[in-house]
Amino acid sequence: MYRAPLVLALKYAFLADRGVAFDERLSQLVLALENLLPGPETIEAAEAPVVRAAVLALDAVMRTRPALLIENSSRLFPRVYQLMKRNQRLEREIDRGLFLLREDDGLDIRKAAFALMGSVLARAPRLLDVPVYTELLASGLTDDPEVRVLAQLGLIDILRSPYSLGVLPCLGKIVEALSQVLGAKVKENAVVQEIERHEESLRGALRVVYAMEQFPPVSSEPSFVGLMNDVVRTPAIEGRYEKLLEQANPTEPDQA
């Protein structure tokens, strides 16, 4: 019960700035954090808060002291990639009488893992396994809405990075996921929160589309052209996309 708060406290230690001697001590903790990341076949629900705390602490390392992760990245990051995937071992159904509630104890772990790898892309992109990372971003586009937004931001960032060609091998998967999100309909009895999440998912997906359209190696691909013609340029979506284009490219008022 006390392990997760203790591990999370390390996050704030890494965020502190206390000099070289302090950094040398912190470097010893990186290996300890690595050892807290289990494989997907061994992780248990009870461990989920500890694993999440460890990933958040590593994200703090990457944002403040990226050099501490460089020597361990080849061992550490493959574990983090696995944590970005949905894990059925951490999903369960709870009987609430009139309905079954599905609980996903891995959701917060995935969110933390996506955030960590986003920090890697921003600060040390050469450490990324770009094909693996991009495929995980594609999978994240149809994950829980809280993961989805992180995957959308990650794809936009990588499309604007020197590693943008890395999206091409899994472009088909990205297009398929975007088509699924943009074609989704909100249910008739949806509450306000569900409607807002649906609208945000649409806006986020269209931001990804816009970033892809600005990148010629992607925008000229037949699969992307099909997405634009068959999904984006339809009555249900086109107005939203045009509004996004106006916001991205505001026109200056005519001078009198």
Q: What is the pLDDT of residues 210-241, one digit of tens each?
A: 999 999 999 999 999 999 999 999 999 999 99
The residues with which 91 forms a beta bridge, in sequence order, are 104
Least confident of 66-70, 111-115, 158-162: 66-70
Between CA 125 and CA 222 the distance in angstroms is 29
Closest-CA residue to 245 (of 203, 195, 215): 203
71 vs 140, more confident = 140
User: For residue 201, what pLDDT is reported?
Assistant: 94
Under a CB-based contact definition with an 8 Å cutoff, are residues 136 and 81 in contact? yes
- Does the pTM surpass 0.75? The reply is yes
Q: What pLDDT band is residue 256 in, cutting at 50, 70 and 90? A: very low
Between CA 156 and CA 171 the distance in angstroms is 13
Between CA 159 and CA 225 the distance in angstroms is 17
Compute the half-sphere exposure of residue 132: CA atoms within 13 Å on the CB side of its CA: 14
Structure confidence by residue, pLDDT tens digits, 33-87: 888 888 777 888 778 888 999 999 899 889 888 888 888 888 899 999 999 999 9
Side chain identity at residue 108, one-letter code: D
